[in-house]
Structure formats: C-alpha cells, structure tokens
Structure 1
Amino acid sequence: MRSIPSRLFLHLVALCYYAQVTNQSPPNFTQHVSEQSKVTDRVSRRLIRTYQLYSRTSGKHVQVLPNQKINAMAEDGDVHAKLIVETDTFGSRVRIKGAETGFYICMNKRGKLIGKKNGQGRDCIFTEIVLENNYTALRNARYEGWYMAFTRRGRPRKGSRTRQHQREVHFMKRLPKGQQITTQATTDLLTSSNTLSVKGLNVLDTPYSAEEQQENRKDRERKRRN
C-alpha cells in the first residue's frame, strides 16, 4: 500500500480543522450578558446616581431612617428620602443607600427590608426592572422573585409575598426637590442669557446701508433743532 505524501496529509488535516471550526455554533451573546450581569463588576467605573423613589401605593417616597428602618412615608424633598444608587454590574443591578444615614437598603431571609452599614452582600443588591407601565420594580439579587414593596400606609411588605404585577412593587424615580429647582433655575438663567445676547446682536450689530445712515443723521439733526 502506497503511503500518503506529507503535503497531501497536511492539507487534509487543515481541511478537517477548518470544517470543525466552521461547524461550531456562534457564541450566545444573550447568555453571556445574563451571566456577567450576575457577577460584581470590579473593573468598570461605578455609576452613581441620586434620586428619590416614589411609591405607587403610598403616594410618598422611600426613606432610610437613622434607626435602620425603611418605609415609604417621606414627603417630596425630605432629607431621608434622598437616595444614592450605585451600580454593581454593567447591567441593571444596583445598591441603594440613604444619603443622610449611609445605610444600605437590604433584605433579610424573612423578606423584611432592613438598613445595613455594609452593603456588599447580595442581599443588598437589587435589579432594576422597567415595566410596561413605565414604573420600576426592584428585585432582590439574593432572593430571586422577591421584590422591594410597600403597603398603602408606607410599611414594608415581605418579599415572599410580592409579585412583579402588584402595585406595591411599582416605583417611580424622581429627582430630589431641591435639585429640580436648581436645574430649572439654571435652565431659566441660560435661556435668559441667550435671549439677551440675541437681542443685543439685533440692536447693536445689525448693519445699515449708506442711505439708512444718512437718514438717521438727518433725524438726529431735526431733533437738535427742535
């Protein structure tokens, strides 16, 4: 039996390798994103936001009190309703703490919302879910299927009794009251400045023709005579 030439053998090996590579299924990007969203991102820059959480049921805002209790009884602009929200991954997982007290909003194994000084645990991480009605639900990362929720009186509801469709888990993000005023004032100031600049340009820098300039001189002379 004649042996296969070395060049032909190498060519056949290369073809087999190429066929094996091309037959592999393309990478599942959605699965990759889902897996990476569950892991704390320690490389990227943390995005920090400041806002209030308006409860759909109580009609007031979530607040973190100095006694480490959490409720949704704060008025708009209340000092304890100002929340600092830190991203945990490149996805939508966040850590939420009170700007005044520094306590993180966490959930214990009984589904109760509590405040913690150290918010590094998964029980202090929530996934922001934008719903079809434009409200936001906050699902706990450690206890899958348990959400942050409040009753009509603003009291915390146990996570084990929550579902995504319930009104109790629906929130709206709002800027703090003082920050809204500052932003509006800045906008008004910029608008006024731009308007004055335009008016000044129209009055001072509008070019006149030679005939118009001569007519203006005649008008000034008439005023002097009168």
Structure 2
Amino acid sequence: MGSPRSALSCLLLHLLVLCLQAQVRRTARRRGPGGRGPPVGHVGQGREDGPCGRGASTGRSLRNPASRHPGQGAKEQRGSSLRQVTQRHVREQSLVTDQLSRRLIRTYQLYSRTSGKHVQVLANKRINAMAEDGDPFAKLIVETDTFGSRVRVRGAETGLYICMNKKGKLIAKSNGKGKDCVFTEIVLENNYTALQNAKYEGWYMAFTRKGRPRKGSKTRQHQREVHFMKRLPRGHHTTEQSLRFEFLNYPPFTRSLRGSQRTWAPEPR
C-alpha cells in the first residue's frame, strides 16, 4: 500500500481534473452551438452547480432575476406600468369636480372628539363645535363632489358652506363652488373621520376643547382635534324603507353513497 501523502496527492489531482472538466462543460454550454458567448471566467455570470462551481461569486443572475427569465421580467414591468397608470387615473379623476353624475346628499351632525359637542354654522358666519345634539344649527347637509370621498359641507339652517382660507382658518361662504370649500373624508383606524381640505393638503378641520376652530396649518391627522363622528340628528328618520327578509325553507341536502348521484332528502316533519 502507498503512503497517505501519495493517496492525498492522487485525490487532489483527481479533484483538479474534475474541476477542469466542469469548467470546460460550462464554457461550451455558455458559448452554444455557434461558438459565441462571453469568455471563460467572465465577470457577471451566474452561480453554477458543480464540483468547483458552488460558492462562486454572486453573478448577474442572482442580482437580476429577469436575466434568467426574460418573460417574467417583461410581465413585471407591464404590471407595474399598468398599476401606475391606474393610480394616476384615479388620482386625476378624484381632483376633478364631477358635474354629470348624480350627487349623493346626506344629512348628519359632526360630533367633535375634543369638545364633546357638535359642529354648527351660525347665521353670523361663525363656525364652532359647541352645539348640543338636535340643535338646528348643528344639522349639516353633505354633498358629494366626485365619485370619491370629497364632499362639500353646509349648514341646513343657514345654507352657508364650511370653507378654509389661505391662513387655515375656517370661514363660512354662501357660494361653495371653490376648491377651498371641498373636504376629503378620511376614515381613520379608530373609526373616527377626519376632513382634509382639498385645496390645502395636510390641513384638516379641527376644533379645540372649548369648541373653537383651530388653524389648519397646525393640524395633523393623529391629533384628537381633527377626529369627528357622524351622527344622525335627533328625531331624524331616513327616507329609505327598511327591507324585509323572507326566509325560504329548502329540504336538506344529503348524499346516500360515496360517488353516487346527489339526492334531496325529505324535510322531517
């Protein structure tokens, strides 16, 4: 028998031969039938499986999956472009006033989380959140502006719209066609509703604990001052008729044997 050193040398020589053969096969595979392709050891090639290919440096195939599957990369690009077009279309349509569709008109009160009272629009064009439940000045008429959640809010008793000027102060106007009189209803995680002005993004309708309006430039969505709850006025009844449900009794569905035809069993009396 030979010495251990000679056996180890033979093993290393055998592994070297296998590595060279695997490198030649990979080169031939990359070049293809026509003999074209990048040279051996080209930087950017992917990881290969083999006796000497494992543990190779990260290549283009690992960094860019589309290089291994060109069709998959094209599908992802088409899907991404379609999502961007859809989002842009929805955003543009949300900013355009809809004059053709039928507007939805609702009547409710806005309960302020901080003051514990309701928002009201007075005849002297003052706006505060100090009205009790059922107060006639607290009754608000909300008109939808687009197919989204943009609305115009006006007092049912005075007919004045709630708007916001460039300083962030809430004002009342008789003509609410301007963009400063449009608010976006945002339903928060705590089920409260925030009203963000459409003209001045990031500015919200807000009231202090004493019911005084707060400037929109000092408001944020997480603040309690911008949280409201929609409530129907006291004694207000919806015009929609309540739907009555009719319950139909069907015979129970049974199956006699596995694989056989389904049969209807008579209902027990």
TM-score, normalization by structure 1: 0.69
| Residue 31 of structure 1, aligned match among 78, 83, 88 | 88
- State the percentage of identical aligned residues: 78
Structure 1 residues not aligned, in runs of 5+: 1-22, 192-226
Deviation by residue 1:50-101 (Cα, 9 ceiling, x = unmatched): 0000000000000000001100000000000000000000000000000000
The match for 1:58 is 115
The match for 2:145 is 88
The match for 2:163 is 106
Instruction: Give the letter aligned to residue 122 of structure 1.
Output: K
The match for 2:235 is 178
Instruction: Measure how far apart 1:124 and its partner are.
Output: 0.3
The match for 1:123 is 180
The match for 2:100 is 43
- Taking the aligned partners of 1:132 and 1:38, their CA distance within structure 2 comes to 24
Instruction: Give the letter aligned to residue 177 of structure 2.
Output: Q
- Taking the aligned partners of 1:79 and 1:143, their CA distance within structure 2 comes to 29
- Taking the aligned partners of 2:87 and 2:146, their CA distance within structure 1 comes to 15
Deviation by residue 1:145-174 (Cα, 9 ceiling, x = unmatched): 100000000000000000000000000000
What value does the CA root-mean-square deviation take over the aligned residues?
Answer: 1.9
Instruction: Measure how far apart 1:31 and its partner are.
Output: 2.1
**Is the partner of 2:180 in helix, strand or coil?**
helix
Instruction: Measure how far apart 1:35 and its partner are.
Output: 1.3
Moved >4 Å (runs of 4+): none
Instruction: Give the letter aligned to residue 31 of structure 1.
Output: R
Instruction: Measure how far apart 1:29 and its partner are.
Output: 1.7
Deviation by residue 1:13-64 (Cα, 9 ceiling, x = unmatched): xxxxxxxxxx964362222111110110111101100000000000000000
Larger radius of gyration: 2
- Taking the aligned partners of 1:170 and 1:26, their CA distance within structure 2 comes to 35
**Is the partner of 2:217 in helix, strand or coil?**
helix
- Taking the aligned partners of 1:83 and 1:153, their CA distance within structure 2 comes to 20
Instruction: Give the letter aligned to residue 92 of structure 2.
Output: E
**Is the partner of 1:51 in helix, strand or coil?**
strand
- Taking the aligned partners of 2:110 and 2:100, their CA distance within structure 1 comes to 28
Structure 2 residues not aligned, in runs of 5+: 1-76, 245-269
The match for 1:19 is none
- Taking the aligned partners of 2:150 and 2:162, their CA distance within structure 1 comes to 13
The match for 2:129 is 72
Instruction: Give the letter aligned to residue 95 of structure 1.
Output: R
Instruction: Give the letter aligned to residue 109 of structure 2.
Output: Q
Q: Pick the structure with more helix per residue.
A: 1
Counterparts of 1:209-224 in structure 2, within 5 Å, are: none
- Taking the aligned partners of 2:93 and 2:186, their CA distance within structure 1 comes to 17
Instruction: Give the letter aligned to residue 138 of structure 1.
Output: L
**Is the partner of 1:177 in helix, strand or coil?**
coil
